[in-house]
Each structure stands twice: as C-alpha cells, then as structure tokens.
A and B are shown apart, each in its own frame.
Chain A
Amino acid sequence: MKQRSLVIAYWATLILLALLGLWAIYLRTVVGLRVTNLTSLVPWGLWVAFYIYFIGLSAGAFLVSTMIYVFGLHRFEAIGRMALFTAFVALVTGLGFILLDLGHLERFWTVFINRSPTSVLEWEIHFYTLYAVILLAELWLLMRRDLIRVGQEPGLRGRLCRLLALRSTDLSDASAAADLRMVRILGTIGVPVAIAVHGGTGAIFAVVKARPYWYTGLFPLIFLVSALASGSALLTFLTAFFARRKDAEHAEMTLALGKLTVGFLAVDLIFLMSEMLVGWYGGIPDHVATYRAMMFGPFWYVFWIGQLGLGALVPLILILNRRTGRSVAWVGLAGALIVAGIFGVRLNIVIPPLTVPLQPGIDTAYPLGRVSSFALEGLGLMAFRLGLLLFTVAVAVLLAGLVRLPRAVPLRAAAALSAATVFTALVLINLRLADLAPATQANLLGPTSRVSALPLLFGGAVRSSDPSFYSPSMWEWLTSLGVLALAAIAFSLGWLWLPLERLPEPPAPQPRHFSGFSPARGSER
C-alpha cells in the first residue's frame, strides 16, 4: 500500500513539474530569449551549462558501456543496457537544452544545409547525430531477444515491445551471438565517436582564444574525464537504487562501479589542479579574474560546496571509507552526489569566464546589463501564483510521506535531501513571484541592482550592480525544471517497459548460462 502511494506521488510530482515546464517552454518559444537574464556580456548561461552537462553524462555512460562490450569488463554486464539507454536519454535532453537556447530555434535544422566546416559546433551536431544512431542500434541489438520474448505477453508492455522488436523473430543463440558481434563492432566505432562527442564539446570552448580560461589544450580532456566521472557516477546511483535484481553479484558490481567512479573523479581533480596552478602562476589578468569570480565571486559556493565539497570530497569519503564503502546504498548516494557536483563543474565552465570583461571598462561603456523583461500580468499572474501555491502544498504533503518511507539511513538521507531541495525551490519561486513586477522601462535600461531569481539555489540575496552579473531568470529555471522532469519521465517509462535488464533465460532447450560475446567465449565461465 505504501509502495503504491509512493509510486503515485512520484508520477504526480513528475507530471506536474513537466506540465509547469512545458508551459514555461511554450512561453519561451512565443516570447523569445527576452525571458532570460542573459546579456550581451554573458551570452551563455544556465541552458548551455545543462547542455554540456547532459552531453557529458551521455558520453560518460556510453564509454562505461564500451568497457563491457568492447574492452571485455564483463563484471559490469548487468548495467550495459541501462548505460546505453541512459546515454540516449541524456543525449536527447542535452540537445533539448541547446535547442531552447537558440535565438531562432525554428532554424536549428539549417545546420545540415548551411555548411560551415570550420565550426567545431557544426562538427559536433554531426557527431551527435552519428552517436545517437550508434546508441540506438546497440541498444536495440542488445534488447532484441528480450523484446521478442516480452512481445509475446499480452498488454500494453507486450504490444510496445512487439512494435519495438521491428518484426524480428529469431530467438536462436546464433542470432544472439551475431548481435553481440555487431554490438562489439558498433561499440568500437562508438569509442572514438563518443570521445569526439564530448572532447569536441570541450573543444567548442577550448578553441576560443578570446577567453584564456577556456583556451587550453587540457580543456577537452577535462571534459572527457569529468564526463566519465559523471557517467559512471550516474550508473552507480541508478544501479544501486533501481536495479531489479539485488543479490550479492549486484552488490559487488555496484561497489566496483563506485571504485571506478572514484578513479575518474581523482583524475578529474588532478586535471583541475593542474589547470588552476598553471593559471594562477601565469597570472594573465583575464585568467586569474576568472578563477577569482569562480572561487570568491557571488557564487563561490558552487565551487567550494558544490563542486569540491558535495561533489568530490564527501563522495570520496563515502566510497573509500571502510564502513560506508561496503554499503550499496551509501555508494549509490555518493554517485548521486557526484552527479550533482559535476553540474557545478559545468556551471563554472560556462559562466565565470564570460563574466570577466574582455577589455577593462567595456562592461560599463554602454548599459549592456539586462534582466528578463517578460513578466506575467493580471489574471495570468494571479492564476500562476495560486496554482504554484497549491502545487507547493501538494508537493510538501507528498514529500513528507516520501521521506518517512525508506528504512535504510542513507536512503532516508537521500530522500530528505532531495525533498528539502525541491521544497525550498518551490517556496522560493513562490516568494519570488510575490514581488514580480511587470516590465518597465527601468529594468530594460540596465537596472542598478539585480536580485537573483532563486536565492540559495543560485545567488542567495545577492544584489549586484555589476553589469556582468548573471543569474538565471525564473523562466530559465522553470523551463530547465520541465526538461529535467520530461527526461525523468522518459527514463522511468523506459525502466518500466523496456527490458533494460537481461530477462532470465527460459529453462530448456537453451543452455543455462548464455554468456558469450562471440561463440568462442560462450564456453567461458
């Protein structure tokens, strides 16, 4: 009974958030980028950070899957399909964010006809497309036999799987072996493509000589390593809490995945240290100013608390500590923390370098600072306030029930943490809306003091007269929340309906252990 209400609460929250987000996305498409707090000084913000974050999660999860199917780390096999599916959902989410960020989103498809071979961004769009094809092909080949099997069941799930099996009916072992051979070939092609996907995303920034903080050869590599860290951390979290088969083997694999994540995280930290030491030692003004903005600016806590504390130090302790390191739940929580912490890394990649003026005085030469000049008015505003208030109360009730459910301490901690975050965010949106004024000339002409849209989460009660100050507008947050909720819904539906974990083999006449990546290996075990 409790389980059931939990499921209802989960779906209700997600669907409501998605609806709220879809409404905000609709407004953004109608009103344009006027809804953002971006300026000509800081032209990239929250959405671009989310974009590189999700591309990184995708590339990381995919590279973990290649370890299984290309490099033969079979101990992680149970998460192989989950890794590929996660990679696909994350890729689509990332592309959704960059689509939102375009000034003319109806023209996005023209990158395929207006050729520009010198642009890293254009190369990336092509790599993303190729990468999506490889991901889907691999995932389908791995699930094919199980899709056919589930497709024989009645009901919605059966019908969906029957559709997805694409008329394939071959259940023989030989066909499965052929599938795995193909997966290995695709995975082998996929490795350089995935490196190009995220290393290349790093290169989008690294080729910009105007910003010394981005303009280093190490930058694309940092992208790759932090992608591996976030991807494997996400899989650790997912498999720790969402695997259906939880036995000794599962526990062992999850812990091993946690250890792998720590390895990637350590390399990531070493790279970060190298960049920072060289940057500070060199003392080039723009370079140092970027580090100053990142470490001691208004959003210092994204670096110290988010990126280094909760995103690195705490998970390192949780995984390496002898007691918590043996608990699947604690290691899973550590994975979740790293996934959240890497978002801090992404924010700090995009925003601080842009807040440094390109020439001394250029930021004050002309009023370039702006905040969103879009606001709801009259009835719309009242309806929105009321709806949000009701929504907040409903979520509070649901969350209160949710927090009391899990027995294990780390699970409780995780639930309480996420509940507190969601609730705080909602309360703050409500508070913020209380003083939402309609657009006036005053806030178009460069306001003298700007308050962050979501205190605590981003900017606290920071007031700034700095024209380069940027904190996302409420609309940027709401659309992001919506895309995140949609991604979570897509993932949950896949988890429910797709055979993302290998089904137990039917008893006869097949051999009990099907484990083969080629016929030769089938006899191993």
Chain B
Amino acid sequence: MAQKRYGMAIDLRRCVGCEACTIACKQENHTPPGVAYAKVIKQEVGQYPHVRRTFLPILCNHCEHPPCVPVCPVGATWKRQEDGIVVVDYNICIGCRYCMTACPYGARTFDFGDDYNIPQNDFERQPSAEYGKAWPRNGGSPIGNVRKCHFCLHRVARGEEPACVLTCMPRARIFGDLNDPESEIARLVAERRHFRIKEELGTEPNVYYLL
C-alpha cells in the first residue's frame, strides 16, 4: 500500500469567513476555552471606498518538516509515517509547551483546564473522541497537554472527512491524499495557483491556499 500524505487545500475565492469550520472543530473535539485547532484570520485591506475583508482559515499545516516535532523532550509528538499527520500523545506529553514556541504558525494551543461553564454542562462533560479514544474532562489529560489539529484522525480512520471540511458551506476546504495523483486535492494543487504560509522556513506545509 502506498504511503499517504494527507493535506488540505483551502480555496480562498470560496471562503466567506463564516467560521463554521471553527465551530465544527470545537464541537467535534470538545475543545475548552482557549483551545482551537481551526481559526480564521480576518483582516481589512485598503481604505474606504476601496476596502475589502480578507479571510485566511488557519490550522495545523502538518508540515513535511515540522519544527515542533524534534524539540519535544519526550517524543510525545510526531509525524505519522503512514499518513503524514502530526499527532500528540496526551499520555506522554509533559506539558512543557516547547513545541508551542517552536511552531511558526501558532497552530498549537495549550489546555489550561478552563471550562466554559462552572459547573460543566452536559456537552462539556462528554468525553472528546480524539485519536479514537475517550478523553473525559475530569482533571487528567488532555488538561495540561498541548493540543492541536489532527485532521480529525478519528473520523478519517472511519473513512469520513474532517469536521471542518464536512461543514464548510461554500466547499472551500478540500481534504485528501496529496500522494494520490487522481485525488481532487492533488489535481487542484497541480492546476490552480496557490501559496503556503511561511514557505521560506523550509517546513513544506501540506495546507495549500488556492488563489
């Protein structure tokens, strides 16, 4: 079986900045306040009357050469051989946050243990299903761990798309295997003009922004 290289293409001409991806991600992964894997940078360009709002959805780039991985003192984060997804093992991570300073994209967030509601509501009490396990929110991991986007690994394992891709109303997000030349994402990346963020750092991001 050929090695997979999962990536995402985000069509900036389609994105309307509705932030449905941000919400879908938070619901899917039961993330607490201050933890978000998918975000949208919203900026204003130009001056009245020639003014425009730009949207840049950001998430973990699942880089080919992720700078966050080698710095981990306990090897709790790595790039998976089989599909190129950068994961964190919550049971190994000691919470030193070195990887957060090393990521050039600000893709990693730390779970400080805050909750939206005191006491937690029913939704918050439900465990997160990340990495195919149940992570209840009762003091232990993932509280005190660094958390990041994992392309909804637990959904991908079931053959589903990541939550942000599924929910995207204008279908701006395309998820797939970049190593498969027949996949939609590989075709789009080959055909359309695109950029990746901070390519000059040599991280080789796997999230492509189509123009």
Q: Which of B93-130 contact A (CB under 8 A)?
A: 93-98, 100-106, 108-118
Does B39 have its Cβ within 8 Å of any Cβ on chain A? Answer: yes
Contact A361 B116 (CB under 8 A): no
Closest A residue to B68 using CB positions: A210
Contact B94 A104 (CB under 8 A): yes
Q: How far is the CA of A125 from the CA of B75 in the complex (A)?
A: 14
Q: Which of B35-67 contact A (CB under 8 A)?
A: 35-36, 39-43, 56, 58, 67
Does A3 have its Cβ within 8 Å of any Cβ on chain B? Answer: no
Contact B96 A360 (CB under 8 A): no
Q: How far is the CA of A204 from the CA of B70 in the complex (A)?
A: 12
Closest A residue to B38 using CB positions: A366
Size of interface on A: residues with Cβ below 8 Å to B: 55
Q: Which of B140-148, B162-170, B179-187 contacts A (4 or more CB under 8 A)?
A: B140-148
Contact B201 A118 (CB under 8 A): no
Q: How far is the CA of A36 from the CA of B110 in the complex (A)?
A: 12
Contact B39 A366 (CB under 8 A): yes
Closest B residue to A33 using CB positions: B112
B96 / chain A contacts, CB cutoff of 8 Å: 98, 101-103, 121
Contact B97 A43 (CB under 8 A): yes
Q: How far is the CA of A36 from the CA of B113 in the complex (A)?
A: 11
Interface of A is mostly: loop
Contact B95 A210 (CB under 8 A): no
Contact B74 A359 (CB under 8 A): no
Contact A210 B101 (CB under 8 A): yes
Contact A40 B98 (CB under 8 A): no
Q: How far is the CA of A439 from the CA of B74 in the complex (A)?
A: 34
Q: Which of A40, A98, A362 contacts B100 (CB 8 A)?
A: A40
Contact B94 A108 (CB under 8 A): yes
Closest A residue to B139 using CB positions: A32
Closest A residue to B103 using CB positions: A210
Smallest Cβ distance from A23 to chain B, in angstroms?
A: 20
A439 / chain B contacts, CB cutoff of 8 Å: 118
Known: A365-B40, A370-B114. A359 touches B92 (CB 8 A): no
Contact A370 B33 (CB under 8 A): yes
Does B34 have its Cβ within 8 Å of any Cβ on chain A? Answer: yes
Closest A residue to B76 using CB positions: A114
Q: Which of A244-265 contact B (CB under 8 A)?
A: none
Contact B33 A445 (CB under 8 A): yes
Smallest Cβ distance from A301 to chain B, in angstroms?
A: 25
Smallest Cβ distance from A273 to chain B, in angstroms?
A: 25
B104 / chain A contacts, CB cutoff of 8 Å: 209-210, 358
Size of interface on B: residues with Cβ below 8 Å to A: 55
Q: Which of A322-377 contact B (CB under 8 A)?
A: 354, 357-362, 364-368, 370, 373
Does A14 have its Cβ within 8 Å of any Cβ on chain B? Answer: no
Does A510 have its Cβ within 8 Å of any Cβ on chain B? Answer: no
Contact A32 B71 (CB under 8 A): no
B71 / chain A contacts, CB cutoff of 8 Å: 118-121, 207-208
Does B16 have its Cβ within 8 Å of any Cβ on chain A? Answer: no
B72 / chain A contacts, CB cutoff of 8 Å: 116, 119
Q: Which of B159-200 contact A (CB under 8 A)?
A: 197-198
Contact A36 B112 (CB under 8 A): yes
Interface string of A248-290 (1 = CB under 8 A from B): 0000000000000000000000000000000000000000000
Q: Which of B93, B100, B197 contacts A104 (CB 8 A)?
A: B93
A207, A357, A366, A370, most chain B CB atoms within 10 A: A366
Contact A40 B143 (CB under 8 A): no
Known: A121-B71, A122-B74, A362-B106. A444 touches B93 (CB 8 A): no
Q: How far is the CA of A285 from the CA of B149 in the complex (A)?
A: 27
Contact A354 B39 (CB under 8 A): no
Q: How far is the CA of A264 from the CA of B104 in the complex (A)?
A: 34
Does B206 have its Cβ within 8 Å of any Cβ on chain A? Answer: no
Known: A39-B34, A102-B95. A110 touches B102 (CB 8 A): no
Does A8 have its Cβ within 8 Å of any Cβ on chain B? Answer: no
Smallest Cβ distance from B66 to chain A, in angstroms?
A: 11
Q: How far is the CA of A104 from the CA of B75 in the complex (A)?
A: 15
Q: How far is the CA of A461 from the CA of B96 in the complex (A)?
A: 30
Contact A103 B33 (CB under 8 A): no
Contact A40 B116 (CB under 8 A): no
Q: How far is the CA of A104 from the CA of B40 in the complex (A)?
A: 30
Does B73 have its Cβ within 8 Å of any Cβ on chain A? Answer: yes
Smallest Cβ distance from B24 to chain A, in angstroms?
A: 14
Contact A361 B110 (CB under 8 A): no
Contact B41 A368 (CB under 8 A): no
Closest A residue to B97 using CB positions: A43
B145 / chain A contacts, CB cutoff of 8 Å: 103-104
Contact B102 A368 (CB under 8 A): no
Contact A103 B144 (CB under 8 A): yes
Contact B73 A111 (CB under 8 A): yes
Q: Which of A91-137 contact B (CB under 8 A)?
A: 98, 101-105, 107-108, 110-111, 114-116, 118-122, 125
Does A38 have its Cβ within 8 Å of any Cβ on chain B? Answer: yes
B113 / chain A contacts, CB cutoff of 8 Å: 31-34
Q: How far is the CA of A125 from the CA of B73 in the complex (A)?
A: 9
Q: Which of A40, A44, A210, A446 contacts B35 (CB 8 A)?
A: A40
Interface string of A172-207 (1 = CB under 8 A from B): 000000000000000000000000000000001001
A40 / chain B contacts, CB cutoff of 8 Å: 34-35, 100, 106, 108-110
Contact A32 B144 (CB under 8 A): yes
Q: Which of A108, A110, A118, A358 contacts B106 (CB 8 A)?
A: A358
Does A211 have its Cβ within 8 Å of any Cβ on chain B? Answer: yes
A360 / chain B contacts, CB cutoff of 8 Å: 41, 43
Given contacts A31-B113, A365-B58, 18 further A-B contacts (CB under 8 A): A32-B113, A33-B110, A34-B113, A40-B35, A40-B109, A103-B94, A103-B97, A104-B145, A107-B94, A111-B74, A114-B92, A121-B71, A121-B96, A362-B106, A370-B114, A441-B116, A444-B114, A446-B33
Give the interface of B toward A (CB within 8 A).
22, 33-36, 39-43, 56, 58, 67, 69-76, 92-98, 100-106, 108-118, 139, 141, 143-146, 197-198, 201
Give the interface of A toward B (CB within 8 A).
31-34, 36, 38-41, 43-44, 98, 101-105, 107-108, 110-111, 114-116, 118-122, 125, 204, 207-211, 354, 357-362, 364-368, 370, 373, 439, 441, 444-446
Interface pairs (17), CB distance under 8 Å: A33-B110, A33-B144, A39-B34, A43-B100, A107-B92, A108-B94, A114-B75, A116-B74, A121-B73, A204-B98, A209-B67, A361-B43, A362-B41, A365-B39, A368-B36, A370-B33, A373-B114
